[in-house]
Structure 1
């Protein structure tokens, strides 16, 4: 088990468990793992990101490797630039959707995809044993990389029918969440002739608009703006711009599952006999959609690294998570909020139907998720207790308790925060509400049990 890497990179509270000294030493380990340069460094809009970037660059140089600083960019922009511009690897400084006091590091390999779980352990071993490069013959240098944003936006445009999109004069609301997509998504939209309405477009590491994670509860302004402006749809990004949550033309906020199903159907119509990769906590309808186009679905543990790293060797066309992370293999096998936006534009430009009409054509689906605060030590005990109570359940990742293919609940510790996540699917909203209520209560009950708290 990784000690420092969570579900998606290394994260912690800045100046506490994620100190500059820790960042420096971990970067030495990452640079040693990379072996050669140049390395591309980028960062999100958090208040601590720029100082962390300086420490990261200097630590890379100390090992004898060169690096370039791309500045403030979304995570998928950094990853794409690593691949397209020929870097040996990349380090993105971000805590994604975590609260403002957090920050983190996310390494990507030379193929522009997050490093594998196995390579995370290699880096941790170097770090724990301090086996990083020491006393190199020469130090590396730090330069600037000014091409990342243009390369990224042009890469996205290459996968869509930009002339068709321009002819439709789409109206789109962008909730940029005070995050990193503010430097790229508006540029892309203007390049394909869309009329855009901006919300939370000022980059601010405190995320004052609605927080760094887009959820149905904090997207009321997006919904209102879509209706007020008679927009074709709205989209909200997370802090580092790799995830996107959509709002249809009626102002309805869509789950990540629903938007992924609509996009998957659109892509598979043009590319039948393809492969789709998704996590265990995604809804069951993806198999129905894939079967319609003679395509297959592979399920992985939760986490974009799991999906991305399964897409690479299988040459999968599509990958997604229920949280709004969508991956288009022809572009890059990583979550990409702006590429996902482009695909939705492409779909609507080529369809005579509205987004709400396209959603209504999907198989009925009732999915949701919730979370319960829980210290990390207690979360392990919770899962152990549930496994004893439900011995026949899937324990690949946390525990997935299945009644049948349409009715299940999955409970797992978050890899990024001290919380337990609870996911559910049912054949009706009433059954879903009952199922979630039952298991949320069960989780809270086990966590609050005094015996559970004090005994291993």
Structure 2
């Protein structure tokens, strides 16, 4: 069956991979599925956001759904408000960390969590078969602008902050909201916690002129310099829709999400020994080391925030994380949330009185090296089949893509991206050179297989 939904919602380039009429049909499919219910809709700052939101709204209203539009907002804030305000479903217009030309649509259930795969399949079936159910002219849904609700989310996050301890420390924090909607949430939460807040790339601009929307060590160099220059305690780099946070310590070192995530896990496990932690197969082994030390269990999932969220809900887990900077704090809401993650890091710094670099130095050290290999969408499955046939190691896992373990404790994961026409490669080892070697070696393997499969497809045609 053809697919619309990828790892995290539907992604597209407007006018290239999907047209406005396609987006309208997507709105019709979503509305047909939810049958005239109430929808909370928001968007990030992308240039095509208003056009996409208008098309989605038209489709939803045509099926009898009422649309409440909150405008510019982060994904985790919209998700929280769907549940908090009792909406039947939510739609977020965002392409998260993708480049500026992309946009996307995420669909949330009444619990504020992205709809599970089985519901995506039904919407896809409605879309591809044009099984739309239009409302009569007198039953067409309304469009309403909803303002003044973000404070519910801000207050919800602050309920989990160690307010007195953080307020007393008066941390200096530099925030990089990626020229997008996180500017409305993280700086405001920090101000209410008596932090000195500085921002860079804080002007709203869908071209993302300051940096790419994906927060990585190479895109956060300006943030790292700002932290050092300002003598700040912490730097926070968000993605385009605010559900991820990558942290910079006081020395200007940028840390991948599974490392700072492991720190959050460590302090969580000290207070809740024996708990289960949910994370995708791409996460560093440091998380498993920390969890096992405290008698807990790591539950691995496929990559994708929806997989982590739904697994947490299924097993009653209170904490999940991703290596890309996603933290899922169940007591607040089991979705990834960059602003909530920032509060959890400040809680730890305030509780211990330690600098972030020192706190992270107590964790086991592993090195990761990540690469991308182009691969057309239609070749991803045959390439994956060939990979499974060719790779060898001490242990081979196929939860998501192919993960190969070696006797020295190192591993490499190769998996097809659910949002871009690429394969992602993650290599990890106790030694930096070994991690790089593993990733490069499997990059060569993957490129060869992609080219071979291309040629085979040509011959068949």
Q: State if a TM-score over 0.5 links the two structures.
A: yes
Question: Per-residue displacement from partner, 1:305-325 (whole Å, max 9, x unpaired)?
Answer: 111111112111111111111
Correspondence for 1:454: 458
Work out whether 1:72 is the aligned partner of 2:72: yes
Q: Using the alignment, how far apart are the partners of 1:454 and 1:253 within structure 2? A: 44
Which secondary structure does the structure 2 equivalent of 1:64 belong to?
Answer: coil
The within-5 A match list for 1:117-156 is 117-136=117-136, 138-156=139-157
Which secondary structure does the structure 2 equivalent of 1:123 belong to?
Answer: helix
Correspondence for 1:41: 41
Correspondence for 2:285: 284
Q: Using the alignment, how far apart are the partners of 1:155 and 1:32 within structure 2? A: 32
Q: Using the alignment, how far apart are the partners of 2:240 and 2:64 within structure 1? A: 32
Flag the 1:427–1:389 CA change in 2: closer, same or farther, 3 A.
same
The within-5 A match list for 1:177-216 is 177-216=178-217
Q: Does the CA contact (< 8 Å) of 2:181 and 2:204 recur in 1? A: yes
Identify the range of structure 1 (12-21 vs 241-250) with the bigger mean alpha-carbon deviation: 12-21
Q: Using the alignment, how far apart are the partners of 1:405 and 1:162 within structure 2? A: 44
How far residue 362 of structure 1 moved from its aligned partner, in angstroms, is: 0.3
Q: Does the CA contact (< 8 Å) of 1:8 and 1:415 recur in 2? A: yes
Work out whether 1:338 is the aligned partner of 2:339: yes
Correspondence for 2:63: 63
Q: Does the CA contact (< 8 Å) of 1:116 and 1:309 recur in 2? A: yes
How far residue 455 of structure 1 moved from its aligned partner, in angstroms, is: 4.7
How far residue 453 of structure 1 moved from its aligned partner, in angstroms, is: 6.1
Correspondence for 1:360: 361
Q: Using the alignment, how far apart are the partners of 2:270 and 2:263 within structure 1? A: 11
Work out whether 1:410 is the aligned partner of 2:374: no
How far residue 427 of structure 1 moved from its aligned partner, in angstroms, is: 2.2
Q: Does the CA contact (< 8 Å) of 1:246 and 1:254 recur in 2? A: yes
Which secondary structure does the structure 2 equivalent of 1:202 belong to?
Answer: coil
Correspondence for 2:325: 324
Correspondence for 2:233: 232
Q: Using the alignment, how far apart are the partners of 1:2 and 1:117 within structure 2? A: 14
Which secondary structure does the structure 2 equivalent of 1:417 belong to?
Answer: coil
Flag the 1:170–1:33 CA change in 2: closer, same or farther, 3 A.
same
Work out whether 1:425 is the aligned partner of 2:428: yes
- For the aligned residues, what is the CA RMSD? 1.6
Q: Does the CA contact (< 8 Å) of 1:2 and 1:120 recur in 2? A: no
Question: Per-residue displacement from partner, 1:261-318 (whole Å, max 9, x unpaired)?
Answer: 0111122222223221000111122122112322221100111111111111211111
Q: Using the alignment, how far apart are the partners of 2:52 and 2:278 within structure 1? A: 34
Flag the 1:320–1:366 CA change in 2: closer, same or farther, 3 A.
same
Which secondary structure does the structure 2 equivalent of 1:90 belong to?
Answer: strand
The within-5 A match list for 1:285-300 is 285-300=286-301
How far residue 160 of structure 1 moved from its aligned partner, in angstroms, is: 1.1
Which secondary structure does the structure 2 equivalent of 1:246 belong to?
Answer: strand
Q: Does the CA contact (< 8 Å) of 1:381 and 1:452 recur in 2? A: no
Q: Does the CA contact (< 8 Å) of 1:400 and 1:409 recur in 2? A: yes
Q: Using the alignment, how far apart are the partners of 2:114 and 2:409 within structure 1? A: 32
User: Which of residues 444, 448, 454 is equivalent to 1:445?
Assistant: 448
Which secondary structure does the structure 2 equivalent of 1:227 belong to?
Answer: helix
Q: Spell out structure 1 runs of 4+ moving beyond 4 A.
A: none
Correspondence for 2:255: 254
Alignment: residue pair count = 456
The within-5 A match list for 1:21-40 is 21-40=21-40
Correspondence for 1:166: 167
Correspondence for 1:50: 50
Q: Using the alignment, how far apart are the partners of 1:280 and 1:409 within structure 2? A: 10
How far residue 62 of structure 1 moved from its aligned partner, in angstroms, is: 1.3
Q: Using the alignment, how far apart are the partners of 1:203 and 1:10 within structure 2? A: 23
Question: Per-residue displacement from partner, 1:16-70 (whole Å, max 9, x unpaired)?
Answer: 2222111111111112222342110000000110122122222211111212001
Correspondence for 2:311: 310
Q: Using the alignment, how far apart are the partners of 1:316 and 1:404 within structure 2? A: 31
Which secondary structure does the structure 2 equivalent of 1:331 belong to?
Answer: coil
Work out whether 1:272 is the aligned partner of 2:276: no
Identify the range of structure 1 (404-413 vs 388-397) with the bigger mean alpha-carbon deviation: 388-397
Q: Using the alignment, how far apart are the partners of 1:2 and 1:230 within structure 2? A: 52
Question: Per-residue displacement from partner, 1:83-124 (whole Å, max 9, x unpaired)?
Answer: 101000100000111111111110000001011011110111
Q: Any unmatched runs of 5+ in structure 2?
A: none
How far residue 214 of structure 1 moved from its aligned partner, in angstroms, is: 1.1
Q: Using the alignment, how far apart are the partners of 2:76 and 2:262 within structure 1? A: 21
Which secondary structure does the structure 1 equivalent of 2:236 belong to?
Answer: strand
Q: Using the alignment, how far apart are the partners of 1:249 and 1:42 within structure 2? A: 34
Q: Does the CA contact (< 8 Å) of 2:27 and 2:58 recur in 1? A: no
